[in-house]
């Protein structure tokens, strides 16, 4: 009997976070299973990654469709899932879509929110001259990168680091934090109180993963 919680992953591109989720789900003890990968971009590398694993994939282009119609199609493909992970999914979801998965949609963002929401967060951090940045996994609400925070990973920005180099190092944090957060959610250990997420941690488990290189 499969007691894993069914999850869909929404992507738009490279899918390295999807790959991290796929690898986490291989562990028989991991509480979730990816039952579907949906991309709004037909050429997303993540689609290839999912197909290589035998995970059902769907491409739903946002182009030439209203957001309502786009989301209706997405929702029709999500009728059999309990949670949704946004892993580099580059569309903003409407309150109608969110209402179908209340407090059950995760997103990973490449900055220490609430700093640098929106696009090009790594570039924003470099341009601002901050010395620390990182990534955030949060529950999706109707704002852009504003939902309750589950965990964050931080790193020190290197001197003369390029946007690509920084993005690559941030991804390494994301690949740990996103599966960890999905585990918490699938195990029913996340409780939203107001705008804050409380996570019931096990003995020795860390909520904050701090990288110091």
Residue 181 touches ligand GRF, criterion: CB under 6 A: no
C-alpha span between 96 and 199 (Å, rounded)? 26
Choice from 34, 87, 106, 125 touching ligand GRF (CB under 6 A): 87
Q: Judged by CB, which is closer to ligand GRF: 61, or 198?
A: 61
Residue 88 touches ligand GRF, criterion: CB under 6 A: yes
With contacts defined by CB under 6 A, name the span among 27-35, 52-60, 103-111, 147-155 that binds ligand GRF.
103-111
Instruction: Choose, from 109, 138, 175, 195, the residue flagged as catalytic.
Output: 109
Residue 169 touches ligand GRF, criterion: CB under 6 A: no
Choice from 174, 181, 182, 197 touching ligand GRF (CB under 6 A): 174
Rg, C-alpha atoms of the chain:
17
C-alpha span between 88 and 17 (Å, rounded)? 8
C-alpha span between 30 and 32 (Å, rounded)? 6
| Known active-site residue 109 | yes
Strand partners, 85: 9, 106
In whole angstroms, how close is the CB of 74 to ligand GRF at the nearest point? 17
Q: What angle do CA 166, 124, 148 make, to 5 degrees?
A: 90
**Contact residues for ligand GRF, defined by CB under 6 A:** 13-17, 87-88, 108-110, 135, 171, 174
């Amino acid at each position: 009997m499969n007691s894993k919680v069914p999850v869909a992953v929404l992507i738009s591109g490279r899918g390295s976070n999807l790959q991290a989720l796929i690898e986490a789900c291989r562990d028989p003890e991991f509480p979730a299973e990816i039952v579907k990968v949906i991309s709004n971009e037909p050429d997303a590398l993540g689609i290839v990654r999912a197909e290589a694993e035998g995970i059902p994939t769907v491409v739903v282009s946002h182009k030439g469709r209203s957001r309502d119609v786009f989301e209706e199609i997405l929702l029709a493909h999500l009728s059999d899932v309990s949670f949704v992970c946004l892993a580099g999914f580059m569309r903003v979801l409407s309150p109608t879509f969110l209402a179908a998965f209340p407090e059950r949609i995760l997103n990973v963002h490449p900055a220490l929110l609430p700093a640098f929401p929106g696009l090009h967060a790594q570039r924003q951090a470099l341009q601002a001259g901050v010395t620390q940045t990182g990534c955030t996994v949060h529950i999706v609400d109707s704002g852009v990168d504003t939902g309750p925070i589950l965990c964050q990973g931080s790193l020190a920005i290197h001197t003369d680091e390029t946007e690509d180099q920084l993005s690559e190092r941030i991804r390494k944090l994301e690949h740990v934090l996103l599966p960890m957060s999905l585990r918490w959610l699938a195990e029913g250990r996340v409780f939203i109180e107001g705008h804050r997420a409380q996570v019931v941690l096990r003995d020795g488990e860390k909520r904050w993963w701090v990288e110091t290189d």
